[in-house]
Amino acid sequence: MRRRWREFWMAGAVTVLSCVLVNQAWPTSAGSQATLAIQVHKARHELVLQEGDQVLRTLQVALGKDHTAGKLYRGDGRTPQGRYYICEKHARSRFRRFLGISYPNIDDAEKAYTDRLISADEWADIFFANLQQTVPPASTALGGRVGIHGYGGREEIPIDWTEGCIAVTDADIDYLYDVVPLGTPVIIGD
């Protein structure tokens, strides 16, 4: 077991070092196109889509039933807080369209591992999914499959009704789905 962890840490260190070296070897030019980013302000119930410093749209959102704190575990009804990325897109979903965010992230996994909610292997699965910018596992005690979605054909819905997702109108999710690519940063804060 001890040898397996040594190999795991070595592989992780090599992966992180490779990412750093690649980013240093091919820096982006100053004239390159600004990238999209999504900021969610939970206290204001707003989603802000930005391109560089320019605000493209500000949308009203509904959040998890308990929006005052970050997500801790599956079924807590909370919307996560932290830095994530768009990790999946589904053109059809129960709530019209779905943009999956990379919950749980490495910080979520670290806290859960420290609190003994997840195993070392589950921590590693979440860690490597985030390094590779793929979909983190949803099968741990932390849950998963959190994202941005529409109302699913429903009329105006009261604020804070989701199980932890970020809901926007169907027209807004159609717009976001068309313009937001995989890998787009999503920053969720108070």
Q: What does DSSP assign to residue 174?
A: H
Does residue 72 sit within a domain? yes
At 92-143, the pLDDT tens digits run 999 999 999 999 999 999 999 999 999 999 999 999 999 999 999 999 999 9
Q: How many domains does the structure of the chain reveal?
A: 1
At 127-140, the pLDDT tens digits run 999 999 999 999 99
Which tokens go with 152?
């699913």
Model confidence, pTM = 0.81
Could you tell me if 35 and 52 are in contact, meaning their C-beta atoms sit under 8 angstroms apart? yes
Does residue 42 sit within a domain? yes
Does residue 117 sit within a domain? yes
Does residue 11 sit within a domain? no
Does residue 25 sit within a domain? no
Does residue 6 sit within a domain? no
| CATH code of the domain containing 72 | 2.40.440.10
* Cα–Cα dist 119/165, whole Å: 25
Residue 5, Cβ density class (10 Å: 0-12 exposed, 13-18 middle, ≥19 buried): exposed
At 39-88, the pLDDT tens digits run 999 999 999 999 999 999 999 999 998 777 888 889 898 999 999 999 99
Sign of the alpha-carbon torsion through 38, 40, 41, 44: positive
- Residue 89 domain boundaries: 32-189
Q: For residue 23, give Cα distances in angstroms to 36, 95, 121, 141, 170.
A: 19, 37, 28, 33, 37
Does residue 15 sit within a domain? no
Q: For residue 59, give Cα distances in angstroms to 2, 15, 114, 127.
A: 49, 37, 36, 31
Ramachandran quadrant class, 3 (left: phi over 0; alpha: psi -120 to 50; beta: rest): alpha
Does residue 185 sit within a domain? yes
